[in-house]
A and B are shown apart, each in its own frame.
Chain A
Amino acid sequence: MKKSWVILVVDDETVMCESMAAWLREDGYEVDTASNGQKALELAKATDYVICFIDLKMPGGMDGIETMMEIHRIRPDASVIIITAYATVDTAIQAMKEGAQEYIVKPCNPQEISMLVSRILKLKKLQSENAILRKKISRQYRHHDIITKNPRMEEILALTRDIASLRSTVLIRGESGTGKELVARAIHFSGDRAARPFITVSCAALTETLLESELFGYEKGAFTGAAAQAKGKFELADGGTILLDEIGDISPKLQADLLRVLQERRFYRVGGNEEVEVDVRIIAATNKNLADEVKQGRFREDLYYRLNVIEIRIPPLRERREDIPLLAEHFVQRISCELGKDISGVSAAALKLLIAYDWPGNVRELENVIERAIVTCRNGTLDEQDFSWLQRSPGASQNWEVPDVSLDELERKAIIAALERKHGNVKEASAALGIDRSTLYDKLKHYEITH
């Protein structure tokens, strides 16, 4: 493990260089040496050094600080430790100011060097681990995780990239399950707020007073049970982005409060008299037609215009059927992996069925349908039988095709089907068919149906 770390020692005195290198090599590190700044830079171009020990005073050309600054240009992640012969506070301060991680005074205690190196490497390991984890998280919400080849969706993705680093409010419209939160996350995580918080508040899930304290926080004693001051979501999202989901459902009072936040980026905590200022990007999402809500007088017009600076309308899945195979494939891969089942894909016949279905619950429904199919699937591919239950759902009935038969035959079939559904109950069957009970009896006789 240690072998991957390479250390550079730069000192004009060869004996210094070599003794330091020998000591570090005994400790199991790979070490290169350079006798001046120029040589050090040449080496640094070829090798990604984790630590550079640089002598502060080197005759001619570059001194230690200059060398350090040049090395930082080539290898910004390298830690520089300045070696100095005299412990003067000034040089130490200057070295640290210019970006040295540490400085040591020679000759130094052997223990000191070993501890210094192992401490820096420990930090490096944590840093690289942290970077990997961060990457993993943000990758979940990056643009290419919105899977599409639909031109309208591609336009939306291009737009999210364009607006990612702005502070303008965004209004995302789309039916439930179309991926409004995913688009909001894509905007947040591809902009310059990516490292700051992204906070989602579902406005429909909470009552007015709860939502108010959830958004704005409250002061101690603001209401029964407010035992201590609490920060609201706006404060928690400071510097980042807040997603107000189902914004169409908020009460008139909260609409007024929200308008103030949008206008002034300031608000009061519940029960507080001190203004709180925040820098938050607001993204609102709704499955309602807010323009209609405004016309009906249920939503404030001024708030609507404040929110609707940039509008994104996500098409429902039935308007982007070409994405169904892609999405299905993606979900099969992800979910089968999560559930530990070895499923290779979806059969052509099953795919046809999925494409024909209307998906009232959109992508989320597709995801759930695939998950259910994977759970019950007995072999390596999802085929028609794994989705047979889907055909009976109400959405599928819209794809019902009129069979090529006479009107009489059609009526006969409809009556038989109605009786079957109602388990032979004539009264219920006639109600379902929208005819009188006596008329149904007549027709049963006419078509010679026994029940």
Chain B
Amino acid sequence: MLAQNAPPDATRVLGVTDVDLAIPMLTFLFGQAHLDGPIAVVSLCRLHQEFYGLPADESLLRERTVKEVLHELGHTFGLAHCSDPKCAMSLATHIELVDGKEEQYCVRCGVRLVERFTSLGGV
């Protein structure tokens, strides 16, 4: 559906939803992307403080969303998970790990991303 509604000049489409995502194999996901593909999706469901029974925090939600968007977009540009827990590309399987990340890629992932952009004809 995301692919069908994409503008013709878009190279990547990222959907954002409030619905809790799950793939058949796993119980939940913060997001999912086609590795090296055009489509990605991020779920805000488990990024809300309310999901964990805590009072809402708008700026924290924004922070978490940015991190997960960076993460899933990274996948669409061929990046795999990073072992640096501060890097946006590190694997987060619960919310504390998301909060441990910074809103940017580590140097190695950044370099790889730039290389990928260059090979795609520059952005």
Q: Tell me the A residues contacting B by CB distance below 8 Å.
A: 2, 13, 15-16, 19-20, 22-23, 25-28, 106-111, 113-114
Is A106 a contact of B25 with CB atoms below 8 Å?
yes
The yes or no answer to B35 lying at the interface (CB within 8 A) is yes
Q: Which of A25, A27, A28, A107 contacts B26 (CB 8 A)?
A: A107
Is B27 a contact of A107 with CB atoms below 8 Å?
yes
Q: What CA separation (Å) do A262 and B25 show in the bound complex?
A: 62
Q: Which of A2, A22, A28, A110 contacts B93 (CB 8 A)?
A: A110
Please name 27 pairs of A and B residues whose Cβ atoms are closer than 8 Å in the assembled complex, sorted by A: A2-B80, A13-B24, A16-B24, A16-B25, A19-B24, A19-B26, A22-B23, A22-B32, A22-B34, A23-B23, A23-B26, A26-B35, A26-B75, A26-B81, A26-B91, A27-B80, A27-B81, A106-B24, A106-B25, A107-B23, A107-B24, A108-B25, A108-B26, A111-B93, A111-B94, A113-B25, A114-B91
The yes or no answer to B29 lying at the interface (CB within 8 A) is yes
Is B81 a contact of A109 with CB atoms below 8 Å?
no
Q: Which of B23, B75, B94 contacts A19 (CB 8 A)?
A: B23
Q: Which residue of A lies closest to B81 (CB)?
A: A27
Given contacts A26-B33, A108-B26, 17 further A-B contacts (CB under 8 A): A2-B80, A16-B25, A22-B35, A23-B25, A25-B35, A26-B35, A26-B80, A26-B81, A26-B91, A27-B91, A107-B24, A108-B27, A109-B27, A110-B28, A110-B29, A114-B91, A114-B93
Q: What CA separation (Å) do A25 and B26 show in the bound complex?
A: 14
Is B80 a contact of A110 with CB atoms below 8 Å?
no
Residues of B within 8 A of A111 (CB): 93-94
Q: Which of B22, B25, B28, B80 contacts A20 (CB 8 A)?
A: B25
> Please, how many residues of chain B have a CB less than 8 angstroms from a CB on the other chain?
18
Chain A interface mostly: helix
Assuming the A-B contacts A22-B32, A26-B35, A27-B91, are A110 and B81 also in contact, with contact meaning beta carbons closer than 8 angstroms in the complex?
no
Q: What CA separation (Å) do A13 and B22 show in the bound complex?
A: 16
Is A107 a contact of B22 with CB atoms below 8 Å?
yes
Q: How far is the CB of A242 from chain B (nearest CB, A)?
A: 48
Q: What CA separation (Å) do A106 and B22 show in the bound complex?
A: 12
Residues of B within 8 A of A110 (CB): 26-29, 93
Minimum-distance CB pairs A-B, first 9: A28-B80, A19-B23, A111-B93, A20-B25, A19-B25, A25-B35, A16-B24, A107-B27, A110-B26
Q: What CA separation (Å) do A141 and B4 show in the bound complex?
A: 67
Q: How far is the CB of B36 from chain A (nearest CB, A)?
A: 9
Q: Which residue of B lies closest to A106 (CB)?
A: B25
Interface residues of B in 28-55 (CB under 8 A from A): 28-29, 32-35
Q: What CA separation (Å) do A23 and B24 show in the bound complex?
A: 11
Q: What CA separation (Å) do A25 and B22 show in the bound complex?
A: 17
Assuming the A-B contacts A19-B24, A110-B26, are A28 and B32 also in contact, with contact meaning beta carbons closer than 8 angstroms in the complex?
no
Q: Which residue of B lies closest to A29 (CB)?
A: B80
Residues of B within 8 A of A2 (CB): 80
Q: How far is the CB of A64 from chain B (nearest CB, A)?
A: 15
Q: How far is the CB of B33 from chain A (nearest CB, A)?
A: 7
Assuming the A-B contacts A27-B81, A28-B81, are A107 and B25 also in contact, with contact meaning beta carbons closer than 8 angstroms in the complex?
yes
Residues of B within 8 A of A27 (CB): 80-81, 91
Residues of A within 8 A of B24 (CB): 13, 15-16, 19, 106-107
Q: How far is the CB of A97 from chain B (nearest CB, A)?
A: 25
Q: Which residue of B lies closest to A2 (CB)?
A: B80
Q: Which residue of A lies closest to B94 (CB)?
A: A111
Q: What CA separation (Å) do A111 and B94 show in the bound complex?
A: 8
Residues of A within 8 A of B75 (CB): 26
Q: How far is the CB of B101 from chain A (nearest CB, A)?
A: 15
Q: What CA separation (Å) do A37 and B49 show in the bound complex?
A: 44
Q: What CA separation (Å) do A27 and B27 show in the bound complex?
A: 17
Q: Which residue of B lies closest to A3 (CB)?
A: B80
Q: Which residue of B lies closest to A107 (CB)?
A: B27
Q: What CA separation (Å) do A13 and B75 show in the bound complex?
A: 24
Q: What CA separation (Å) do A113 and B91 show in the bound complex?
A: 12
Residues of A within 8 A of B81 (CB): 26-28
Residues of A within 8 A of B23 (CB): 19, 22-23, 107
Q: Which residue of A lies closest to B93 (CB)?
A: A111
